């Protein structure tokens, strides 16, 4: 799969691994299909309500996904507010 990065965020990995920084990108798929790499058993798209929180291997993955979901909700709220303010 090929993707184009559209934003960058970084998180420290937490108390268990001090000094390590995990980086997550927001992006758009350009071509190809999602498939697992050498270090993964499975890779698939899921809706936000289907995220398997208990099956995620890393705490930093949970942090990144929670931050993404919050930003997504915030953008949605801003759109609704903007639409309301533009109404006659």
**58-84 pLDDT tens trace:** 888 898 899 889 988 887 777 666 666
C-alpha pair distances (Å), 69 with each of 2, 48, 49, 66, 72? 23, 8, 10, 5, 5
Give the Cα separation of 71 and 35 in Å (integer). Answer: 26
Domain hosting 48: range is: 2-86
Number of domains in the chain: 1
Q: pLDDT value at position 31?
A: 97
Q: pLDDT by residue (tens digit) across 15-37?
A: 666 777 778 888 899 999 999 99
- Judged by DSSP in three states, 80 sits in helix
């Amino acid at each position: 799969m090929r993707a184009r990065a559209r934003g960058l965020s970084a998180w420290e990995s937490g108390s268990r691994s001090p000094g390590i920084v995990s980086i997550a990108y927001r992006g758009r798929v350009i071509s190809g299909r999602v498939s697992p790499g050498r270090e993964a058993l499975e890779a698939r798209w899921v809706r936000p309500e289907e995220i398997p929180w208990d099956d995620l291997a890393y705490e930093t993955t949970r942090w990144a996904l929670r931050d993404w979901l919050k930003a997504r909700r915030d953008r949605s709220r801003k759109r609704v507010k903007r639409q309301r303010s533009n109404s006659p």
